[in-house]
Amino acid sequence: MSMALLAFLAFLPILVAMFLLVGLGWGARQSMPVGYVVVVIIGLAVWKMKLIDVIAATIEGLWIAATLLWIIFGALLLLATLKHSGAIATIRAGFIKVSPDRRIQAIILGFLFGCFIEGSSGFGTPAAVVGPLLLALGFPAFAAVIVGMVTQSTPVTFGAVGTPVLVGVGGGLTGSDAVMAHAQSLGMDFTQYLHSIGARAANFHTIIGFVMPLIIAMMLTWIFGKNRSWREGLEVWPFALFAGIVFVVPYVILANTLGPEFPSMISGLLGVGITSYAASKGFLQPKKIWDFDDESKWDPSWFGTVSGDPGEIRANMPLIKAWTPYVLVGIVLLLTRLTGLKGILTAITIDHNNILGTSISHSWQWVFSPGCMIGLVAVITWFLHQMKGEEIKAALKEAAGQLYGASMALIFTVPMVRVFIRSGLNDIGLDSMPILLAKFVADTAGNAWPAFAAVIGALGAMIAGSNTVSNMTFGLFQWTVADLLGISQRIVVAVQAVGGAAGNMICVHNAVAAAAVVGLIGKEGLILRKTFLPTIYYLVAVGVYAMLAIYVFGLS
């Protein structure tokens, strides 16, 4: 069988799933089971996988789905808790005083606060946290998800305290004698080499990502505005670009000095503080306030099943007290990731070794999960906000009810991904489907590879639901292609990391999780249609910059 045909068959499960999701507008609950069946048939018939390995990979996928649902439940519980405690109503009233303009709210809360959450915890958490908050502020559910999804771009390479670089790129390159020899030739140890790749990724993100707040504002007015005009979003360009610069300046400095752990987290937090103060003082604010049309005129597809009603404002609820749970989320995530607590918590695992006697294993650090941290803050909030028993019961019931829809989508989505990735376990010596597909694309592209390298990163993130997994899967492959072409290995691997970040905007996992927390299960395809455009922008831009950096400026 020719390489081209194998590559097509490897891509077919993704193609089928994306056609059903984006082309026909099916929900993930309908399209992903079809994708799962296709990948299983191809895995057994073409890749000659053993049935036991397919079943083991499916079980692995179900366990991973459980870890994602754990995060989703934590986010849902916190939102329901804040709603029933009266905090959301207080936050909404307070933030309208900062700026009643929905474009400004989306930039500060959606993008910058989302960047902080991504930098602290990663793994799709921003959309799960930011989406419900925007919903409670009066955004349509669909708009809240779009903002949360597009935010998962620039900060993602340094999400979860640098995990995509340290664990993703690091795990992919570890053990390669060629990589180690190259690092030594540059006078670096492996950690320094990883940091230098992260710095290059930050340089790309800085050039491309500082306009993302403006893109979010333009998408908001184009899709959800009364006049369906992107020009109304463009009207806030002074503040949007100010917000982008406020974020990317410390971001690129931190990446080039301290390393991958802090760029997104610290820059996001600084950005929220600076832009909130600036907006409250009227700095660079638009002359005309923009808001959504009357709710009665909204498109039915914009509504979710989760209520956006912020609840009643408690007379004794100060604004700082209402915001405290979100501050605690940041503090808890920082403490558990930057102190000795990390070693203690990561040691507490639920392990599934050699599933069904195969080489497939899975370990879940359930206590270290962002879901556990967010859930803990929700419980603390019960006491902090002096909630009554019936209020706590109502919050638990609401969160548990909303979790069901997400579970129905993920139980097929993640197993499909795991069979796809585990297809390298076969008796005929074929590379796994993603690796074979990547090699075919690389062979076809030749010296133009830097222009396409980010697409592989995005494809990996879209499939696996993680920039970290994409980097780990394709990092060494990207390095080897660059080495064979005689071009900068570090720049090409950095492009992989940037592409993996961009791929989060069209990641089915993230779409399912984001849709679940605002009650839009079944509309994942509609979401991905909208987030496809900013993803294309990101991939084209990084491809152009990569070609210039390597072939024009001769950077290494």
Full DSSP string of 13-58: HHHHHHIIIIIS---HHHHHHHHHHHHHHHHHHTS-B-HHHHHHHH
- Give which of 272, 267, 275, 276 is closest to 249, Cα–Cα: 267
Tell me the average pLDDT across 445-455.
92
Question: What is the C-alpha to C-alpha distance for residues 235 and 144, in angstroms, rounded to an integer?
Answer: 20
pLDDT at 216 over 90: yes
The percent of residues above 70 in pLDDT, for the chain, comes to: 96
The confidence score (pLDDT) of residue 259 equals 87
Q: At what angle do helices 51-85 and 370-384 cross, to 10 degrees?
A: 20
**Residues written for the chain:** 556
pLDDT at 409 over 90: no
Name the pLDDT band for 39 (thresholds 50, 70, 90).
Answer: very high
Residue 464's contacts (CB-CB under 8 Å, 6 or more residues apart) are 417, 421, 470, 473
Q: What is the DSSP letter of 106?
A: I
CB-based burial of residue 364 (10 Å sphere; 0-12 exposed, 13-18 middle, 19+ buried)? Answer: middle
The confidence score (pLDDT) of residue 308 equals 61
pLDDT at 55 over 70: yes
Instruction: Give the range among 119-123, 239-243, 311-315 with minimum mean pLDDT.
Output: 311-315
The confidence score (pLDDT) of residue 313 equals 53
In this structure, are residues 179 and 191 in contact, taking their beta carbons and an 8 Å threshold? no
Tell me the average pLDDT across 249-272.
92
Instruction: Give the range among 212-216, 309-313, 502-506, 532-536 with minimum mean pLDDT.
Output: 309-313
Strand partners, 476: none
The confidence score (pLDDT) of residue 390 equals 93
What are the helix (H) ranges across 347-488? 370-384, 389-421, 433-445, 449-464, 467-485
* Residue 258 phi, psi (nearest 5): -85, -20
What are the helix (H) ranges across 465-554? 467-485, 489-502, 508-517, 524-547
pLDDT at 532 over 80: yes
Report field, pTM of the whole predicted structure over 0.75 = yes
The confidence score (pLDDT) of residue 369 equals 82
- Give which of 422, 439, 406 is closest to 124, Cα–Cα: 406
Helices and strands counted in the chain (H then E): 26, 2
473-487 pLDDT, tens digit each: 788 889 988 988 899
User: Which range among 127-136, 163-172, 178-187 has the greatest average pLDDT?
Assistant: 178-187
More confident residue, 276 or 314: 276
Residue 160, token pair as written in the block: 């979860």
Q: What is the DSSP letter of 362?
A: E
pLDDT at 90 over 90: no
| Mean pLDDT (the chain, rounded) | 89
The confidence score (pLDDT) of residue 44 equals 97
pLDDT at 76 over 80: no
pLDDT at 365 over 90: no
In this structure, are residues 533 and 153 in contact, taking their beta carbons and an 8 Å threshold? no
Residue 475's contacts (CB-CB under 8 Å, 6 or more residues apart) are 168, 169, 171, 172, 173, 493, 496
- Give whole-number Cα distances, 356 to 58, 60, 349, 352, in Å: 11, 11, 19, 10
pLDDT at 229 over 90: yes
Q: Are strands 350-352 and 362-364 parallel, antiparallel or unpaired?
A: antiparallel
In this structure, are residues 499 and 456 in contact, taking their beta carbons and an 8 Å threshold? yes
pLDDT at 199 over 90: yes
Question: What is the C-alpha to C-alpha distance for residues 421 and 432, in angstroms, rounded to an integer?
Answer: 6
Say how many Å lie between the first and final Cα of the chain, rounded.
38
pLDDT at 248 over 60: yes
Name the pLDDT band for 137 (thresholds 50, 70, 90).
Answer: confident
- Give which of 66, 50, 94 is closest to 319, Cα–Cα: 94
Tell me the average pLDDT across 363-374.
85
Q: Is 445 helix (H, G, I), strand (E, B) or coil?
A: helix
Tell me the average pLDDT across 209-218.
98
pLDDT at 317 over 80: yes
Name the pLDDT band for 188 (thresholds 50, 70, 90).
Answer: very high
pLDDT at 56 over 90: yes
The confidence score (pLDDT) of residue 233 equals 96
- Give which of 67, 65, 84, 79 is closest to 128, Cα–Cα: 79
The confidence score (pLDDT) of residue 500 equals 95
pLDDT at 520 over 70: yes
Residue 117, token pair as written in the block: 């959450």
pLDDT at 488 over 80: yes
